[in-house]
Chain A
Amino acid sequence: MSTHQPPMQQAPAAAPGGPYPGYTSPIPVVRTHLGHALASEWTKIKSVRSTLWTLGVFVLLVVGIGLMAGALVESNSDSETLSGENPLSFGFFGLLLGSICIITLGVLTTASEYGTGMIRTTMTACPSRARVLAAKSIVFFAVAFVFTLATSGFVAMVQASMLESTGARTPTGGDWLKATVGISLYMALLGLLSLLIGSVIRHSAGAITIMIGVLLAPLVLALFMATESLAKLREWLFEYSIPNQLSVFYANSLSESGPSGWDPLWIMLGLTAVVYAGAYALLQSRDV
């Protein structure tokens, strides 16, 4: 960039081998692929303060509330209180609140790029919109899964040993799997759903509000449907509300019918897949 010769009026002669003349960079040309986009998104997610905040608060909520719940139950019970119950189930409260952090982080991963205008830079660097959405989804999903697994696993271990003296049953392998891996997959999918809504709405506050509505509205609505005629709908809203689906992983569903076992995971997987397809179609057709 130091040559200061006067600019040529005519285009220079064609470069050997190419129909289009021009400059050839000494920088090696690399065919970009998903791996590059993943590295880029990983740098992005770890280089902003909002990630630290949301994940920090998440860890505090899940561990803090989980341990507090365990301690409270333990100090207020004798050797029979919890007889036969799953001691891992007290992790539920922390994760319920923590889900708001995961939702926020998910939304910010996409929507904040629209808010700042960064999305245009991103899409210029990686013009394949499918690849951008995939890279963001994979990186976010991995982060959310690992954080939930580590915190919920820790809380579960502490609670299992804390509540031994209350008559709770020894958790089975299935109990453990659901309360750690299962719930972590579910939370990561919930966050991914938020990420997709962020990509559709393109506005952080709006998308977070919508997702918190999705989280809480069914329960709140159910509370107001006291009339007989709405009983069926009320029950359905209740059973398929996200908090109740979360509790299914601890086998202490708030109701007897409705989703059980691993059902919530399949429900969330299906929902996320459908929304992913929609978000992708919109991303393709809209201007950035």
Chain B
Amino acid sequence: MIELEGLTKRFGEKVAVDHLTFSVRPGIVTGFLGPNGAGKSTTMRMILGLDRPTAGDVRIDGTHYDRLKDPLTYLGALLDAKAVHGGRSAYNHLLCLAQSNGIPASRVAQVLETVGLTAVARKKAKGFSLGMGQRLGIAGALLGDPRILMFDEPVNGLDPEGIHWIRNLMKSLAAQGRTVFVSSHLMSEMALTADHLVVIGQGRLLADTSMADFIRANSRSYVRIRCPQRERLRDVLHQAGITVVEAGGGALEVEGGKAEQIGELAARYGLVLHELSPQQASLEEAFMQLTAEAVEYHAQAGPEPAPRDWGAGWKEA
């Protein structure tokens, strides 16, 4: 269990993380979403005691990370796949990590096998591709067989097979009762992996909800209708007990999957339809809307810098 309480980090004028309060529970995969520069990595660094919070507190099962007596067997983290000395071989990189926590050296070969890097174990890390580096980072996180796992954008650079693998890995780790906390930009990716969802934008908490609730609330299906005789159609549908809402561009929308019923009604009353299409709002759209609002709100709220486009944080870094 990871518990954040009013966690705040300021870099000079810039508020990177703004009063975050939430907890990450064991036994499930918790997705951590936000656009570039939202403060995900900074939050994770504070959990690990790498960055000192400006205010607030974060605890791992009630303890500060730097008070853990056995950090790697308690919490394994993949922060940045490049956090490796390129001149060291994959094997030696993991060996020095294992030694620092008294983990048996035999675990090194095991995790290399798990992530599929056995063949290049003796090769220098600087020759690794992005995906191989990512796998090495994941191996480091798994090294201590920890009860809490934290991954910062683990699918970054992985091939489809690798993405599938990490997805199943995270699910099975959680199923064993571990706490799994994973950040991502991609709502669609999280929808497949996470059971719980924490969304932040501009360092602020925007949503802390179960994935099922989020999907229920955001993935509505509806039917879009275009008809030259709109008022007539509205009456007909109203009489049939179907609620119609006005959508943009002269179209009408009806909640749910009632396309057949609407088509039959139109035929019976001799109404011409120019469009009758079932629609599904995507989770990605819901996510973008959620975070876009945060950006707008932030821009109006104070003397902060103007609204930034999504890539801004990344470009600065």
Which residue of B is nearest A128, CB measured?
B66
Given known pairs A6-B175, A31-B69, A118-B84, the reply for A287 and B195 (CB within 8 Å) is no
In the complex, what's the smallest C-beta–C-beta distance from B105 to chain A, in angstroms? Answer: 10
Are A288 and B26 neighbours in the complex by a CB distance under 8 Å? no
Q: Which residues of B contact A9 (CB under 8 A)?
A: 28, 195, 210
Q: How far is the CA of A30 from the CA of B145 in the complex (A)?
A: 13
B299 within 8 A of A: no
Given known pairs A117-B82, A124-B79, the reply for A47 and B168 (CB within 8 Å) is no
Q: Which residues of B contact A7 (CB under 8 A)?
A: 27-29, 171, 174-175, 195
Which residue of B is nearest A1, CB measured?
B172
Q: How far is the CA of A27 from the CA of B29 in the complex (A)?
A: 22
Contact partner of B102 among A3, A6, A36, A122, CB < 8 A? A36
Q: How far is the CA of A5 from the CA of B85 in the complex (A)?
A: 37
A interface: dominant SS: loop
> Quick one: CB contact mask for A27-71 with B, threshold 8 Å, 1 for yes?
101111000110111011001111000000000000000000000
Q: Which residues of B contact A25 (CB under 8 A)?
A: 73, 144-147
Are B99 and A40 neighbours in the complex by a CB distance under 8 Å? yes
A112 within 8 A of B: yes
Given known pairs A8-B28, A31-B70, A50-B87, the reply for A40 and B97 (CB within 8 Å) is yes
B173 within 8 A of A: yes
In the complex, what's the smallest C-beta–C-beta distance from A191 to chain B, in angstroms? Answer: 19
B interface: dominant SS: loop
Q: Which residues of A contact B72 (CB under 8 A)?
A: 124-125
B236 within 8 A of A: no
Give the total of B residues in contact with A, Cβ under 8 Å. Answer: 64
A26 within 8 A of B: yes
Q: Which residues of B contact A41 (CB under 8 A)?
A: 96
Which residue of B is nearest A47, CB measured?
B92
Contact partner of A121 among B45, B97, B171, CB < 8 A? B97
Which residue of A is nearest B80, CB measured?
A117
Are B69 and A32 neighbours in the complex by a CB distance under 8 Å? yes
A84 within 8 A of B: no
Which B83-119 residues have a C-beta within 8 angstroms of A?
83-89, 92, 95-97, 99-104, 107, 114
Contact partner of A27 among B25, B95, B107, B174, CB < 8 A? B107
Are A11 and B145 neighbours in the complex by a CB distance under 8 Å? no
Q: How far is the CA of A288 from the CA of B145 in the complex (A)?
A: 25
> Quick one: CB contact mask for A154-172 with B, threshold 8 Å, 1 for yes?
0000000000000000000
Are A116 and B85 neighbours in the complex by a CB distance under 8 Å? yes
Q: Which stretch, A14-22, A142-150, A251-259, A267-275, touches the partner chain B?
A: A14-22
Which residue of A is nearest B150, CB measured?
A124
Are A40 and B70 neighbours in the complex by a CB distance under 8 Å? no
A278 within 8 A of B: no
Q: Which residues of B contact A40 (CB under 8 A)?
A: 96-97, 99-100
Contact partner of B85 among A19, A118, A288, CB < 8 A? A118
B247 within 8 A of A: no
Given known pairs A43-B95, A113-B85, A117-B83, the reply for A20 and B174 (CB within 8 Å) is no
Q: Which stretch, B48-56, B275-283, B305-313, touches the partner chain A?
A: B48-56
Q: How far is the CA of A3 from the CA of B170 in the complex (A)?
A: 11
Are B171 and A39 neighbours in the complex by a CB distance under 8 Å? no
> Quick one: CB contact mask for B39-51 with A, threshold 8 Å, 1 for yes?
0000001001111
In the complex, what's the smallest C-beta–C-beta distance from A148 to chain B, in angstroms? Answer: 24
Which residue of B is nearest A113, CB measured?
B85
Given known pairs A4-B172, A288-B51, the reply for A127 and B71 (CB within 8 Å) is yes
Are A3 and B92 neighbours in the complex by a CB distance under 8 Å? no
Contact partner of B172 among A2, A124, A287, CB < 8 A? A2
Q: Which residues of A contact B69 (CB under 8 A)?
A: 31-32
In the complex, what's the smallest C-beta–C-beta distance from B23 to chain A, in angstroms? Answer: 10
Are B99 and A36 neighbours in the complex by a CB distance under 8 Å? yes
B1 within 8 A of A: yes
Are A121 and B140 neighbours in the complex by a CB distance under 8 Å? yes
Which residue of B is nearest A135, CB measured?
B100
Given contacts A7-B174, A23-B147, A123-B48, 7 further A-B contacts (CB under 8 A): A1-B114, A21-B1, A21-B177, A22-B27, A43-B96, A121-B83, A123-B50
Can you identify 9 A-B contacts, CB atoms within 8 angstroms?
Answer: A7-B27, A8-B28, A12-B27, A20-B26, A29-B73, A39-B99, A117-B84, A120-B83, A124-B79
Q: Give the interface of A toward B (CB within 8 A).
A: 1-12, 19-27, 29-32, 36-37, 39-41, 43-44, 47-50, 112-113, 116-128, 285, 287-288
